[in-house]
Structure 1
């Protein structure tokens, strides 16, 4: 059952009516990183009941935030994809995630790191000034996760999964578990990674994905 409206003429109240239900923002996080099938979302959101996932997807569709598309060959079935309104939530999701990072506490080895959160971290830390006029692509492999970051004339496209075409540099972070973003960046900046491609692009990656205030 949908939560009762707040009866307020307020943008925040309306946003909460549309995306404030439990799991809704995490579904949006996953779809910001990559369009997904129902089974993909179930896998990437451990703990979500199947009926809740179905309900949230239906609510987000009705709100014009998510839409269904037929998966292109060779895939089969239905993909859930964000609409333009859904994609416009990226800034708000990134802001909430950055605020939440300060509330996480210390990372424990048993903690699960969602690959989608790493893809969004690339967007949150992207230094547009440093990437001006740059064209380069990277694939980052960390545990079972694969991420890609493609910069074309200074514009970033990032997400989960392998790079859409042959990347200029593949960066492999050692270890079996998916580490948090700060650990990936620490390994990259200290050179504790395996490379396939021009080593100079590792320094470029570290520069481009460090916010100006942190340099």
Structure 2
């Protein structure tokens, strides 16, 4: 038997998966602390859904292309499928469950309901989290690719500006006009 085959354990030997021991981790999610022991290769999305049973955050493409898994980490929106849970040890994570309560939804959640900003609803948690981050970006006067001028006035937020800022969140049902309408209504109320 050649040397390479001997090292692999024979011609038909299956490669052995390496064992990654669980790591201690503190996740601050929606104002609550969660002490976990999970493998270093577990994504934040899988930790939220499979370990903590916070299933509002959806697994869409699992490749960072659809935005269904969008959550807020320290106020910034991220695709939770593209990041490892251990990378967020001690950071503030907000999921759609942490934005409002059933009896008192977040203004953005209420706007999505009032404006019919969803159809099947699968992308809605990611859309809402992304829209909440958009509100903060507007308050901080952060420019986007379509911002004109040096500063952005919340009262003059255009539909193109909203579409650009929400471009990382896809809706397969095509509820975009009502999503834009919902976001615009909240921005105008807060201006």
In our comparison, the structure showing a higher alpha carbon Rg is 2
Task: Identify the structure with bigger relative contact order (alpha carbons < 8 Å, sequence gap 6+).
Answer: 2
Per the normalisation by structure 1, the TM-score is: 0.26
